[in-house]
Amino acid sequence: MKAKEITEKIKELKEKRKAVILAHNYQRGEIQDIADYVGDSLGLSQEAAKTEAEVIIFCGVHFMAETAAILNPDKIVILPDIDAGCPMAEMVTPEDLKERQRELNHVTTVAYVNTTAATKALVDVCCTSANAVKVVKSLSDEEILFVPDKYLGLFITSKISGKKIHLWNGFCPTHVRVTKEDVLKQKEKYPEAKVIVHPECLPEVIEVADEVGSTGSIVRYARENPAKEFIIGTEIGILHRLKKENPEKEFYPASKNAICPNMKKITLEKVLFSLEDLKPQITIPPDIQKKALKSIERMLEIV
């Protein structure tokens, strides 16, 4: 079956199932093109929270679909490939987190949204890369445990004074593949280009950037900045959206190695199968859902 035929079948089934398709900025181009909404973790969380659809087809990775299920316990949430996980999210387990919280005498815990539902159920508030600094600043507590991304944590620390932030030893395997040397080589090749990187990148990469922000921030910066060339330091899937929305501008990856294999697992065929069978569904145990919901709702209230 050709891509066009699959796309038409997806459109038909989507209406029949009363479904909405949400896709992260790192998804394949053809997946972004069929989505009702394309965005970063914050935007997707907000969209999931307000959707009136009966079925959510979530084109992202497991923790994102879990977040949608936490926000919509009465809706059917589908992740077209159940094996689309997130190595960073797996770097903090509920057991290890509980132990660290005890060691620190139960300090306020902030969790990056890139965590499992079970981890979110143990924290005080969640954040995304788009609102991490704002969320941490809003807390009256002077001592905070931030999990799991130490590089996002370091970025927050650089923007906030007067707080002691304990960092977890987690990271994004895709973003740490982007090196300072990669960026400087691209800058030498495209000297007029603005450099925009994600805060999950290494500190030395952030140092040579013109702008640091979430994928949503990157999209806005590219749209609003008058520059005609941009070097993008995040997962290369976002280049599809950037080129689509800014055809008169040029976008170059900071590193061609910045590919998340999990974000590329979802295909048009898998989206079609998921609409046909309404599988694989993401379900959250009620006790975990209620606790995790509090940490996400607190984030959404702050932003």
pLDDT digits (tens, 9 = 90+) for 97-133: 999 999 999 899 999 999 999 999 999 999 999 999 9
Backbone angles phi, psi at 59, to 5 degrees: -100, 90
- For β-strands 211-212 and 194-197, DSSP reports them as parallel
CA distance 35 to 20: 8
| β-bridge mates for residue 149, sequence order | 170
pLDDT band at residue 42, thresholds of 50, 70 and 90? confident
* Mean pLDDT score of the chain: 96
**Average pLDDT estimate for 164-189:** 98
DSSP string of 159-198, one letter each residue: H--S-EEEEPSB--TTGGG--HHHHHHHHHHSTTPEEEE-
48 vs 36: which has the higher pLDDT: 36
Contacts of 191 (CB under 8 A, 6+ apart): none
194 vs 302: which has the higher pLDDT: 194
CA distances from 4 to 10, 27, 259, 269 (A): 10, 18, 26, 11
Looking at the chain, list the stretches that DSSP marks H as alpha helix, in order from N- to C-terminal side.
Answer: 3-17, 29-34, 41-50, 62-71, 94-103, 117-120, 132-138, 150-159, 180-189, 203-207, 215-224, 238-245, 268-277, 286-302
pLDDT at 1 over 80: no
> Domains of the chain by range and CATH?
3-85+263-284 (3.40.50.10800), 89-171+289-302 (3.40.50.10800), 175-253 (3.40.50.10800)
User: What integer pLDDT is reported at residue 43 of this predicted model?
Assistant: 86
**Average pLDDT estimate for 224-232:** 98
Q: Nearest CA to 95 among 69, 114, 121? A: 121
- The 10s digit of each residue's pLDDT in 178-219 is 999 999 999 999 999 999 999 999 999 999 999 999 999 999
**Average pLDDT estimate for 82-90:** 97
Range of lowest pLDDT (24-33, 35-44, 149-158, 238-247): 35-44
Q: Nearest CA to 146 among 126, 117, 176? A: 126
Q: Nearest CA to 244 among 19, 5, 28, 54? A: 28
